[in-house]
Amino acid sequence: MIAIVDYGMGNLRSVSKALEKVGFPGVVTQDGSVIEKADGLVVPGVGAFKKAMENLENLRLVDPILAFIGRGKPFLGICLGLQLLFSESEEFSLSKGLDVFRGKVIRFPFSIPGAPLAKDALKVPHMGWNSVRIVKSVPALDGIREGTHFYFVHSYFPVPADPGIVATKTDYGGEFVSSVGKGNLFACQFHPEKSQSAGLRILANFGRLAQP
């Protein structure tokens, strides 16, 4: 059973439908006991880091998620679900995360609104299709080729203290970390559920890992 964590900020339906499409239907839940019994766990999410942490704390889901990760079972974080794994985020004000990985979530550089875009200026959020450079082989990326494109929608990205967890990087005015992996844990800044065949491949890889 794959549990999809509902903390009020996730793109739950699209994730659930994509997992169902590759043959691994998930159960959307806010119940810590369901998370405890799950074979695989997905934490999706869109929105603000601080609000996400507040929601997880109010729903008493922080400890069940951390306990699940600690057991080494297959875990998938998507977009905000990746960022929450880190120590802190600078979004709005400095906010503490789950601290699974040491590091900070920072914002892309940006240009002054209304001003002409400089040669090296970035449009924020980073939105649309972009390619990944594979840094290390992890089970979730099985069958994913160098340069494969995925769909992104984000203004912030993680800077891990440990470069050894970096699975892929993506170039947007310079390279940023677009996914991390350690053991059975994989988390990506892009949206596999919106990334057509390549994204479905990642979800299928995850689903197979989560088979009991």
Residues that are catalytic: 79, 191, 193
Both tokens of 197, joined, read: 């065949």
Pair 156, 81: CB distance under 8 Å: no
Cα–Cα–Cα angle for 95, 186, 90, rounded to 5 degrees: 15
What does the alpha-carbon distance between residue 84 and residue 158 come to, in Å, rounded to a whole number? 9
Name the DSSP class of 172. S
What does the alpha-carbon distance between residue 208 and residue 113 come to, in Å, rounded to a whole number? 45
